[in-house]
Structure 1
């Protein structure tokens, strides 16, 4: 009976969660929110995490009703992510592990999302669509690795949506992508945009540049409303993701799709993927914002899986890796 605590801080979300043999005991999170039209910078984001991490830790222990003595393993996000944020949270995790005299495990952020999704939804061996602010990948498990079948060749889909939200001066509360989704629900007029799928890979930077260039004149003339542009951007980006995911399903013979990552909360993306799955006689698995958005529970869950198979991190390797590939991790627990 293992109790694991997970520390997540790879971007603007600071999360600490505790799991007990696959049961979530607590899932506490704070988000660094910047003014409309601005992104979050590494230094300020790290300062945000540093100022709140002890309060979030206390809250997580209190809600889980556990003491440090009951914790079996300390887990933290090793990467990928923003270096200052990763380092801030890793230092706290290392300190806690020493103070509590507990083993420590560095967890790949993406694998945290996957194992969290598998635990919450009960999916067995799905094709995984991982979509977030910093990552866009189509993944499948094969021979002790999570293999990347396709990915973005430039910016991530979440980054694309966030940057267009800045063009429209949308609020960053609770997130730019969420506010784009709400506007898109009211969109009625479709703007034709570039559709860039290259084999199994996708590209978003050209689409973003195109709609940024066109948006000023289109909005000024009244030909299109902000709602129309958000609707058009979502439809094109999500169609690209559904296409590459379906191709991976055909290649692997899979009948399951699991959507993880912050953008996975988008109900329109889930709806489009559900339609594709229905046509193939397959099943879609998705979660809500509690588990899609970066959180400490996913790090604790992945760390728990590693811990039960003896996959600990050596102390001199408890560093961070800003570019930590999903397929660089040997999966010992499946």
Structure 2
């Protein structure tokens, strides 16, 4: 089977094509705010996705060297995400499914990050740290669903970094901008909040923002990264000890950070566990992961009805049905 997947949960529109687990195409385009510190404006991001979709659709088909009639399944990012953005993928997939009379399937965004990371790491039963803009979770896969062992009690790690970068007046690609500044910084003390395997970041954001007038950007970025990643490692280590897993995986947009990869890798090694992460191209939001996960779900007999397909802004990972 050949599956075309559409991702549009936030600032990125991605269209990917997979054939029996092989990635044939992965086209993507990112909405960028016009001014520093502006962030994602849902209406403008959705307009970007709608306007660029026809071009990106043709680009994906060209990459895969396919014609539309060869697509056998359409998958779309059902949620969680920004409502206005989610509607683009949903509407496009429903249109293509109806036009070509092919099945459609909704995919949870978090689930797709996990599946694509498992593909590249070769892991079968990992403890997963999922870190993205709106989500921060530590989870394991059970027979028919995910079990969330720990998560953020307020904002996601990516949200924290994006918000702080805007306070600093940094341009878009906030995570990488903070990572580069952190390379030149020194540590200054910040609050540290881990509650069992749960975490909280809003107090940390307030504290680091208050230090902007008196502390260099480099020192603040370094200190923020070190504090956040130490919190994530502590909570993940607790989960690893509890579950006894032999594989540790990090996925999601924030998983692109080299320092986080290093710290999580060292933690896993201390416990005799393997550590893995997908290539950065597939940790960033992309359509290939939606197509790949859509194929997996369809092969397990899971189906979506066209009339029931709709965006789900607060679609939790532990609500996903992995198997019948």
TM-score (norm 1): 0.95
Conservation of the 8 A alpha-carbon contact between 2:116 and 2:278: no
Which residue number in structure 1 is paired with residue 23 of structure 2?
24
SS in 1 for 2:211: helix
SS in 2 for 1:215: coil
Quick one: which of 250, 262, 267 aligns to 2:253?
Answer: 262
Shift of 1:114: 0.6
1:158 and 1:50 map into 2 onto residues whose CA distance is 25
SS in 2 for 1:228: helix
Pairing 1:92-241 to 2, within 5 Å after superposition: 92-172=92-172, 175-187=173-185, 189-216=186-213, 218=214, 224-241=215-232
1:89 and 1:285 map into 2 onto residues whose CA distance is 29
SS in 1 for 2:212: helix
1:59 and 1:185 map into 2 onto residues whose CA distance is 37
* Deviations, residues 229-256 of structure 1 (Å, cap 9, x unaligned): 1000000000111111111111111011
Conservation of the 8 A alpha-carbon contact between 2:143 and 2:323: no
* Deviations, residues 189-222 of structure 1 (Å, cap 9, x unaligned): 2110000001111000000001111212x1xxxx
How many residues in Structure 1 have an aligned counterpart in Structure 2?
323
Which residue number in structure 1 is paired with residue 89 of structure 2?
89
1:319 maps to 2:316: no
SS in 2 for 1:49: helix
SS in 1 for 2:14: strand
2:308 and 2:202 map into 1 onto residues whose CA distance is 35
SS in 2 for 1:15: strand
- Aligned-residue RMSD, C-alpha: 1.0
Which residue number in structure 2 is paired with residue 221 of structure 1?
none
Following TM superposition, where does structure 1 have runs of at least 4 consecutive aligned residues deviating by more than 4 angstroms? Answer: none
Conservation of the 8 A alpha-carbon contact between 2:255 and 2:283: yes
1:281 maps to 2:272: yes
Gaps of 5+ in 1: 219-223
Shift of 1:66: 1.3
SS in 2 for 1:171: coil
